[in-house]
Amino acid sequence: MTTPSPESGRNSRRKQPALPGAAEQTVPLFEARQKIQPRAIGGLFARWRWAMVWATQLFFYGVPWLQWGDRQSLLFDLQTMRFYLFGLVLYPQDFIYLAVLLIVCALALFLFTTMAGRLWCGFSCPQTVYTEIFLWLERVTEGDRSARLRLDHSGWTLEKILKRSAKHGSWLLLSLWTGFTFVGYFVPIRTLAVEVMALQGPWQMFWIFFYGLATYGNAGFLREQVCKHMCPYARFQSAMLDKDTLIVTYDSQRGEPRGMRSKARDSAAATAALGDCIDCTLCVQVCPVGIDIRNGLQYECIGCGLCVDACDSVMDKVHLPRGLIRFATQNGMDNRWSKAQMLRRVLRPRVLVYTAITLAFCAALAMSLAQRTPLKVNVMRDRASLARIAPGGQLENLYRLQIMNATENAQRYRISATGLEGLTVEEEDRHIALAAIESRWLTVRARIPYGSAAPGPHAMEFVVTAEGKDPMTVREQTVFQVPN
Ligand code: SF4
Ligand code: SF4
């Protein structure tokens, strides 16, 4: 894999020492970006990419509008610190689920990268998906690749102004809609829509414009620069690839020496001396990052497979077998393995280990979510008040209990305590009613008969039980202090 030189990121110019007799030369260390105008191509991988665009965008734009009961089905409500996920309501205390989910995502990324390279980058990364949509809008408003190249090099005519306005207008509309949808995952989207129409909610407006402009800049202008220079994944993915990873590869043994089949050289002998690559450069023209895969695997390659589609279409036209550029492993290429031989090697120990760990985390997450009790209890001793003698001659300790009803129905709870002989909770503290998704701090008095326990700390636990049709119990340990 080729990597940039350590100096390639510096925007500077260095004077080369002049050779005797030679004119002094200035060599730029920073190469200006060449604008890439990729050619549209059809084929298997292009269809997969569009299928992923539809799947991800239907989810992204559609889900915030789905209702679950009388609330939004998927909402990260930062104001109340609640995360609604269809029938599930999660709190900051449930952060562990999010942490495990992120670990599962990271492991799945490692697993797929080890098996088939940068599948994520080529097919489902938001940067790739939005660049694809923006490119489509560019094609609709400005024409195909050659028309766009002509437009780039032409002066500012009325036609250019109109086409550029249409392109940027459509980009901006889509970007702002994307920003609005994104904010709609954090603020109920129906309320947000009303606020936006009334030009209210300065913070919401700020984040809609911020995210919208980020989309406009990244997908409209920066494009492959994000993948090349900003995304860290491109840099460490090489550590996850090995010789049995499926990657987009040019079959140089078959393709070289490359050459055009020009009429002048169209003799049988001249054609026989050439490889299958007709040097049409279509694979380079369709590449969204503007590389030539015939130079070998490069860190810029996002594994989108469009060069495979392009080359297959060329091979069909010249009546040669498809697959001059294909998904293959390095071992498969070197040893001329069949597809079946390569696929067998995909299930190697490294892949099996990643799979086992990923499945173990998924199972742990599913089990702990299934066993999760929608009732949270936190106990704190009231440090302002030490043990005291209560009316009736009992020894009393005070506690602060936080009870959180994590269901979406009102609940009644019964509070009791165990662990010490004669331990009771004062009558008026024993029952509490909480509304749906309500959390409340209470002061609870626990008492034991005076002299029934030796001086010092004693372990005890509060037992909070939900009454009604969804019975559930949570036990929380604490300490009962008996003074000397
Ligand atoms: S080289 Fe091929 S697979 Fe890699 S980014 Fe370019 S078109 Fe996609
Ligand atoms: S598309 Fe195929 S034939 Fe054309 S230049 Fe690329 S590798 Fe060669």
Distance 294 CA to ligand 1 centre (A): 10
- Kindly state whether residue 246 falls inside one of the protein's structural domains: yes
Distance 131 CA to ligand 1 centre (A): 14
- Kindly state whether residue 166 falls inside one of the protein's structural domains: yes
Distance 301 CA to ligand 1 centre (A): 5
Does the beta carbon of 187 lie inside 6 Å of ligand 1? no
Domain boundaries, position 169: 34-372
Distance 230 CA to ligand 2 centre (A): 30
Query: Which of 288, 250, 295, 44 has the alpha carbon at shortest distance from 145?
Result: 288
> What does the CA dihedral 29, 35, 39, 41 come to, rounded to 10 degrees?
70
pLDDT digits (tens, 9 = 90+) for 114-146: 999 988 999 999 999 999 999 999 999 999 999
**Same domain? 264 vs 353:** yes
How far are the Cα atoms of 31, 297, 367, 368 from residue 371, in angstroms, in the given order?
57, 47, 6, 5
Integer Cα distance of 397 and 480 in angstroms:
7
**Same domain? 405 vs 417:** yes
Residue that terminates a domain, selected from 328, 356, 372: 372
**Same domain? 317 vs 366:** yes
Residue that terminates a domain, selected from 372, 399, 416: 372
- Kindly state whether residue 15 falls inside one of the protein's structural domains: no
Tokens 């509304």 appear where?
435
Nearest CA to ligand 2 atom 8: 277
pTM for the full model?
Answer: 0.81
- Kindly state whether residue 213 falls inside one of the protein's structural domains: yes
Distance 350 CA to ligand 1 centre (A): 26
Q: What is the mean pLDDT of the chain?
A: 89
DSSP 288: T
- Kindly state whether residue 178 falls inside one of the protein's structural domains: yes
- Kindly state whether residue 25 falls inside one of the protein's structural domains: no
**Same domain? 191 vs 208:** yes
Does the beta carbon of 248 lie inside 6 Å of ligand 2? no
Higher pLDDT, 221 or 391: 221
- Kindly state whether residue 11 falls inside one of the protein's structural domains: no
CA atoms within 13 A on the CB side of 417: 29
Residue 155, helix vs strand vs coil: coil
pLDDT value of position 129: 97
**Same domain? 300 vs 398:** no
Task: Read off the pLDDT band of 193 (50, 70, 90).
Answer: very high
- Number of domains present in the structure of the chain: 2
CB 465 within 8 A of CB 473: yes
pLDDT digits (tens, 9 = 90+) for 419-443: 999 999 988 888 999 998 888 999 9
Does the beta carbon of 41 lie inside 6 Å of ligand 2? no
Does the beta carbon of 304 lie inside 6 Å of ligand 1? yes
Helix (H) or strand (E) holding 462: strand 456-467
- Kindly state whether residue 5 falls inside one of the protein's structural domains: no
Query: Which of 6, 12, 5, 4 has the alpha carbon at shortest distance from 30?
Result: 12
**Residues 301-337: b if buried by 16+ CB within 10 A, e if exposed:** bbbbbbbbbbbbebbeeeeeeebbbbbbbbebbeeeb
Tell me the mean pLDDT in the region 60-75: 95
